[in-house]
Structure 1
Amino acid sequence: MADTRNNKAVTELTSVHYWLALKAIPRLASYKKIALVKKFGLKTLFTQQVDLNQTGLTGAQRSAISSPDWHGLTKVIFDSQLCQSKIIVYDDPAYPVLLKEIYDPPIVIFARGNIELLSLAKIAIVGSRNASVAGREIAHKLAGQLTAQFVVTSGLALGIDAQAHLGALHHGGYTIAVVATGLDMTYPARHKKLQKDIIENKGLLISEFAPGIAPKAGHFPKRNRLISGLSLGVLVVEASLKSGSLITARCALEQSREVFAVPSSIYNLQAKGCHWLIKQGAKLVEDIADIEEEFEDIVTDSLNLSRNKEKANSREKSVQQDLFNDPMLASVGYEVTPVDMVVSRSKLPIDVVLTRLTVLELKGLVSAVPGGYLKLNRG
């Protein structure tokens, strides 16, 4: 029988409530949260008295599962509606396919604006907040040119980010701003008009932070991983050696995304980070042809929603095929294969193995069974 915890009838709760409750479990990586859902079922995890003793969860984590703050989660949903945003949960068809590939994908994202952009090909443009005049002009120009084939993604920050958004808008293109606050506020405050312009021109604002959450230093690296995770590649226009833009670039490398960098004068301190990236193997960019040639299979003559939806579907099928050919899959047999055996065969760290097994299971290529995993016959 369902447990009506916190005196709130389970029948009043929605799937969004349960995903928000999963998100609210403290200090637990996303892949572990998803593993809990696979083991117990999303609704069952929060509405039945499941045995959590062997899960390795802390007392605070078990408490968050046994006694969710349903009232507070309902307020999050209500506040999202007030700021005209939509909550997109992990199993929602609108949830970006590429974002599920990253190590620690958000359990839910808050989106305001044109959510159809989530299914289109995206290129991120990032760089210094204290960019030079030349750097700003380059970001503006390249963003405008890239909108013919891609949605331009950036972080709504001062400097290069702002010029990336403006360049896309001024050329009639689409842009996504990934922010480090709730969608009911604007940071920095001077970008309130830019934020409004993005929405009014069929762009999109997204965040993993609920309404009411103010900016904190720790939010920006989390935002940066989403900027790169959403995108096929990241273009760094100007960045010092100690900048958030290099964090985004590192996230892109960890996520197997393409990294591009614009060179500059050796005397430009704001370009030192770009030069370092190029030395590390990032592709030097002089014009958008240097980027387009890396994505010839998805480049279109113009960014049309219906045509690019087809491209996005093709990309998803390509991702599925790539997963089917993933060497990790060869480590799982058609008989029950324990996780430790998968680790031994793949020679990968256990956290990486668990993450990739979760992705493979979401794509229907393996199944979690008692004792380990089982490869599914897709032939």
Structure 2
Amino acid sequence: MDEFKDSELLSKSQLRLWMALYLCPQLGIGALKKLEALLPNLLSVFQLPESELPNYKLSPKQITKLLMPDWQYIDRLVDWLTSQQILVLPFNHMLYPSLLFNTARPPVLLFLKGNIKLLNQVQLAFVGSRNPTAYGSQVTKNFVRELVGLQVVITSGLAIGIDGIAHKAALSAKGQTIAVLGSGLNQIYPKRHLYLAEQIVEQDGLLVSEFLPNVPPVQFNFPKRNRIIAGMTNGTVVVEAAIKSGSLITAQIAVEEGRDVFAISWQYL
């Protein structure tokens, strides 16, 4: 983090405005890209007079939120992010991962804790069974160790099973790993992996989330998490995944985004 100049990261004033934009209802990535194309700078929307805002296809509810954000909540949020050394990258930032930006639905914001240099390095995702066989576990460890030796970053979702095995194998091999969460960074899930998450940051890895810090790990967040794993990586390795599983959703997204997918199936063990 220290290698990046302050000018390359969001200032506190910019972060406040991005939080206000992020909290504006129904202003997703598609709408923001269209709005950005009409403005010299996306944040300049806050400088527009109220009479001009309807010209940018903003609804009355959106206009109200942009004119009167909840600054007390936003300032508490910004203070917490700063105190926890969590960085925020909007989709149009120079440090935003280029592979992810070019996917169908890149997140508007990424909340990051750790080594943000890893975002644009070569990555392979490992996803798979929550209850892998001994063979699947060992193969994952072996592959991760070899990939770390090739300076490949290991990316996964911090889940029980193959995810955790891949993260731990990368750390054991003195490599670097990225954990993408299906919850906010103040709601590490599963709780038994809280220490693992801390280890990842301490050993020059990275935690990634698109959710506000206190968002809980609700079920519909995990497909969103999976699209980030698939979209941010150069390829995905699937280990012993069940037919109906989040791992195969990740693999399907990877295929749709033109990424390589590799499989280790229990059927052939």
Q: After the TM superposition, list the runs of 4 or more consecutive aligned residues in structure 1 that deviate by more than 6 angstroms.
A: none
Q: CA deviation at 1:146?
A: 1.2
> What is the alpha-carbon distance in structure 2 between the residues aligned to residue 13 and residue 265 of structure 1?
53
Highest RCO, 1 vs 2 (Cα 8 Å, sep ≥ 6): 2
| Equivalent residue, structure 2, for 1:94 | 95
Cα pair 1:234 1:259 within 8 Å, conserved: yes
| Equivalent residue, structure 2, for 1:6 | none
| Equivalent residue, structure 2, for 1:313 | none
Q: Give the residue type in structure 2 aligned to 1:225.
A: R
Cα pair 1:22 1:107 within 8 Å, conserved: no
Q: CA deviation at 1:254?
A: 2.2
CA distances 1:255-301 after superposition (whole Å, capped 9, x unpaired): 221111113326x8xxxxxxxxxxxxxxxxxxxxxxxxxxxxxxxxx
Q: Give the residue type in structure 2 aligned to 1:45.
A: V
> What is the alpha-carbon distance in structure 2 between the residues aligned to residue 16 and residue 81 of structure 1?
10
Compared with structure 1, are the counterparts of its residues 63 and 128 closer, same or farther at alpha carbon in structure 2 (3 Å cutoff)?
farther
| Equivalent residue, structure 2, for 1:77 | 78
| Equivalent residue, structure 2, for 1:226 | 228
> What is the alpha-carbon distance in structure 2 between the residues aligned to residue 13 and residue 263 of structure 1?
48
Q: What secondary structure does 2:187 align onto?
A: coil
Matches for 1:191-206 after TM superposition, within 5 Å: 191-206=193-208
Q: Give the residue type in structure 2 aligned to 1:46.
A: F
CA distances 1:89-146 after superposition (whole Å, capped 9, x unpaired): 2333221111110112112211111111112111111012122222222222212211
Cα pair 1:236 1:262 within 8 Å, conserved: yes
| Equivalent residue, structure 2, for 1:346 | none
| Equivalent residue, structure 1, for 2:255 | 253
RMSD of aligned Cα (Å): 2.0
Matches for 1:275-290 after TM superposition, within 5 Å: none
Q: CA deviation at 1:161?
A: 0.3
> What is the alpha-carbon distance in structure 1 between the residues aligned to residue 253 and residue 63 of structure 2?
31
Partner residue of 1:216 out of 200, 205, 218: 218
> What is the alpha-carbon distance in structure 1 between the residues aligned to residue 256 and residue 65 of structure 2?
31
Shifted more, 186-195 versus 67-76: the winner is 67-76
Q: Give the residue type in structure 2 aligned to 1:61.
A: Q
> What is the alpha-carbon distance in structure 2 between the residues aligned to residue 92 and residue 106 of structure 1?
12
CA distances 1:17-37 after superposition (whole Å, capped 9, x unpaired): 222222222233302212212
Compared with structure 1, are the counterparts of its residues 138 and 60 closer, same or farther at alpha carbon in structure 2 (3 Å cutoff)?
farther
Q: Give the residue type in structure 1 aligned to 2:42.
A: L
| Equivalent residue, structure 2, for 1:239 | 241
Q: Give the residue type in structure 2 aligned to 1:168.
A: A
Q: Give the residue type in structure 2 aligned to 1:31.
A: G
Cα pair 2:136 2:264 within 8 Å, conserved: no
Q: CA deviation at 1:56?
A: 4.5
> What is the alpha-carbon distance in structure 1 between the residues aligned to residue 241 and residue 60 of structure 2?
43
Matches for 1:122-201 after TM superposition, within 5 Å: 122-149=123-150, 150-201=152-203
> What is the alpha-carbon distance in structure 2 between the residues aligned to residue 258 and residue 65 of structure 1?
41
Compared with structure 1, are the counterparts of its residues 111 and 13 closer, same or farther at alpha carbon in structure 2 (3 Å cutoff)?
closer
> What is the alpha-carbon distance in structure 2 between the residues aligned to residue 61 and residue 38 of structure 1?
18
Cα pair 1:126 1:234 within 8 Å, conserved: yes
| Equivalent residue, structure 1, for 2:43 | 43
Structure 1 position 16 matched with structure 2 position 15: yes
Shifted more, 221-230 versus 143-152: the winner is 143-152
Cα pair 1:140 1:163 within 8 Å, conserved: yes
Cα pair 2:28 2:108 within 8 Å, conserved: no
Unaligned runs of 5+ in 2: 1-10
Cα pair 1:31 1:103 within 8 Å, conserved: no
CA distances 1:311-333 after superposition (whole Å, capped 9, x unpaired): xxxxxxxxxxxxxxxxxxxxxxx
Q: Which protein shows a greater Rg?
A: 1
> What is the alpha-carbon distance in structure 1 between the residues aligned to residue 259 and residue 174 of structure 2?
26
| Equivalent residue, structure 2, for 1:60 | 61
Q: Give the residue type in structure 2 aligned to 1:206.
A: V
Matches for 1:257-276 after TM superposition, within 5 Å: 257-265=259-267
> What is the alpha-carbon distance in structure 1 between the residues aligned to residue 117 and residue 140 of structure 2?
24
> What is the alpha-carbon distance in structure 2 between the residues aligned to residue 118 and residue 197 of structure 1?
18
Q: CA deviation at 1:73?
A: 2.1
Q: TM-score scaled by structure 1?
A: 0.63
CA distances 1:151-186 after superposition (whole Å, capped 9, x unpaired): 000000000100110111111111000112221232
> What is the alpha-carbon distance in structure 2 between the residues aligned to residue 142 and residue 251 of structure 1?
22
**How many correspondences in the alignment?**
256
> What is the alpha-carbon distance in structure 2 between the residues aligned to residue 46 and residue 13 of structure 1?
15
> What is the alpha-carbon distance in structure 2 between the residues aligned to residue 113 and residue 13 of structure 1?
19
> What is the alpha-carbon distance in structure 2 between the residues aligned to residue 185 and residue 152 of structure 1?
22
Cα pair 1:99 1:229 within 8 Å, conserved: yes
